[in-house]
Amino acid sequence: MFNQPWIGLSNYREVLADETFWTVFVNSVVYTLVTVPGQMAIGLFVAVLLNGIKRFSVGFRVINYLPVITSWVIASLVFRYIFNTEGLLNYFLTKGIGITSQNVHWLDSRWSGMSVAMILGIWKGVGWNMVVFLAALQQVPADLYEAAEIDGCNGWKKFWNVTMPSIRGTVLFALIMLTIGGFNVFTSIKMITGGKPAHMTDTLLTWMYYKAFSTGKFGYAAALSFVMALALGLLAIFQMRAMKNKDA
C-alpha cells in the first residue's frame, strides 16, 4: 500500500496564495460580467422584436439561433483566424481601408485577447437567450397590455411595468445559467489565445486544466474546482435572494 502523507488544506492554501489564480479569477469575473449582460440584453431585444413580427418570424428565429448550434471549436478557430496577427481583420485594416500600416496584435495582450473571447461568447449566446425570452414573452397575458394602454402607458412604460415583472422568473433563470456558463468558459480561451501571454488570458477552467494535465498537480486542480464550485454556489444564492427582494 502507498504511504501518502496527510497534507490537510495545503492545496487550498497554495491556490489562494497563487498570484496566477487571482489573475485567472479576475479574467473569469470580467468575462462573466461582460458576456452575461450582453447576451441577455441583446437576446431580450431580439425576442421583443420577433414577438411583434408575424411574417417570416420562423426564419428570423432560425438565423438568430444558428450561432448557438455552431461548434465552439469551429467558431473559435474562425475568430482566431479573423483576429490573428496575419488574419482577416488586420488585412482589412492595412490593405483594405488603410487605417494602419502595421498589423495589430489582437491576441498577444491580456485584455485584447479576452475581448475577442468575450465577443465570441456574446455572439454565441444571443440565440439561446432569444429563445428563452421569446417563450416567456408569449406567455404574458394580453389583458395586462390592454390595461396598461387604458392607463396611458407608452411602449417603454409597458415594457418596464408589464413585460419585465411578468418575465422576472425567466430573467433569474437565464442569469443563473449564464453566470455558471461564464465561469465555465474553456474552449474559446483554449482555442483562441491558449492562455497566452504567460497565462494572462487563462480563465479558471483553462488554468485548472493546465495545472492538472501539464504540470501534474492534480491536488491543486481539485482544490481549485472546489473553490470555484463554492464561489458559484454563493453567487447563485445571492442572485436568487436579490431577485426575491425585488419581488417583495
Instruction: List the domain boundaries for the chain.
Output: 10-247
pLDDT tens track for 138-162: 999 989 888 888 888 887 888 998 9
pLDDT tens track for 162-192: 999 999 999 999 999 999 999 999 999 999 9
Tell me the average pLDDT across 220-229: 94
Residue 1 pLDDT greater than 50, yes or no: no
Q: pTM for the full model?
A: 0.92
Taken in order 203, 204, 205, 209, the sign of the CA dihedral is: positive
DSSP code at position 101? S
Q: What fold does the segment set 10-247 form as a domain? A: MetI-like fold (1.10.3720)
Instruction: Report the distance separating Cα 224 and Cα 218, nearest Å.
Output: 10
